[in-house]
Amino acid sequence: MRIISFHTAPSGDAYRYLIDELIDKTGRFFLVDRRHDRGDTPVEVARVFQRLKPYLIERCTTEEMMMRTSAFYTEGVYYIYECTAASGQILKEEADGFLDWLYPSLPEDLCFLREDGSDYLFTEAHEDGCGMRITEQEARDLMKRIPGLMFVMERFSC
């Protein structure tokens, strides 16, 4: 298993189908409040946090996340949520793609976590990056099931 980047960050239908897949396969996702200590949270960001509040599991600082997992990407407060059909629906309604999760329009860096706390899908929207920690076979299977989903795959010569 390794990190396989998306050729193009999923958006539109590919984003929505992948959110459904991730909600089914993982138990938690997080979003980051980047400017938690620099004044008021932007209205749009606060609205998303309010909508997701019923699914909130915990809130952690960057330092707390660093002690528990390598799945952190930016300084801020991490809001960890339960994966449910309803929380997934909110993610699909609030954004049209993974790179939309960027301050100040939305909370930052949507990430889905494995049971051990490691990242399954990561987003680094401020760096235009996202990918998944999966095998190449899993990537091929996802591309077959989800139209428009494309990973950067290693090439093998025959």
Q: What is the pTM of this model?
A: 0.91
The CA–CA distances, whole Å, from 15 to 18, 91, 99, 114, 154 equal 5, 10, 10, 19, 23
Q: Each residue of 61-119: pLDDT tens digit? A: 888 887 776 665 678 889 999 999 999 999 999 999 999 999 889 999 999 999 888 88
Q: Could you tell me the maximum CA-CA distance found in the chain, to the nearest angstrom? A: 57
Domain map (residue ranges) of the chain: 2-145
- The predicted pLDDT at position 38 comes to 65
42: preceding bond cis by omega (within 30 degrees): no
CA-nearest of 155, 152, 73, 134 to 107 is 73
